[in-house]
Amino acid sequence: MRNGRSILAKAPKVAPWLANAMLLALVSGQDRSTIGRWERSFVKDGVAVLTRTKTGIRIAIPVELRMDAVGMSLADVIARCKATDVVSKYLIHHVRASVNSPKGSPIKLDTITASFSEARDMAGITGDDAPTFHEIRSLSKRLHMKQGGVDIKTLLGHDRCDRGSLRKLEGS
């Protein structure tokens, strides 16, 4: 978790939305494509209903899902995403307009990857084995397993749940 905290601390220096994307991935256990396309309308009556882009599997996550390691629930992270003072249908969105990206538009998936890599490098975590944004999902799995009380297989939308890759963001 040490590496994850270091990268999270640098995230606001890279992009105003990056910390929100990282926290949303960490608490929800979802992948980059699901995070990048997560619409506000996906949350109703205290449940986030998502369709994993990669597999097409639908997942219902109660917003009271909590991750003690960061002291936040999914509802807390969603509220933080909405607190940008920008009207957007997406939770992770541009908060400033640029030539190619109007304010409120979704963040391109490659931009999420590149921005995470920039924050990671700023945190001094470099090299061939440096973590990627995708490894937040693995860290989420590990932290939820350690905390207990969460059906990991269902949360991650897996047909089966094995140990998986629980490595680089741990920073042991």
Neighbours of 63 (CB within 10 A): 20
Which pLDDT score is estimated for 153? 81
| CB proximity list for 71: less than 8 A, separation 6 or greater | none
Q: What is the pLDDT of residues 121-138, one digit of tens each?
A: 999 999 988 999 999 999
User: What is the rounded average pLDDT for all residues in the chain?
Assistant: 89
Q: Do 113 and 133 form a contact (C-beta atoms < 8 A)?
A: yes
Average pLDDT on 99-110 reads 94
Instruction: Walk me through the domains of the chain, giving residue ranges and CATH numbers.
Output: 2-156 (1.10.443.10)
Alpha-helix runs per DSSP H in 32-151: 32-36, 74-82, 109-122, 135-147
Which pLDDT score is estimated for 161? 39
Q: What is the pLDDT of residues 83-92, one digit of tens each?
A: 999 999 999 9
Q: Do 49 and 42 form a contact (C-beta atoms < 8 A)?
A: yes
Q: What is the pLDDT of residues 33-85, one digit of tens each?
A: 999 999 999 999 999 999 888 888 888 999 999 999 999 999 999 999 999 99
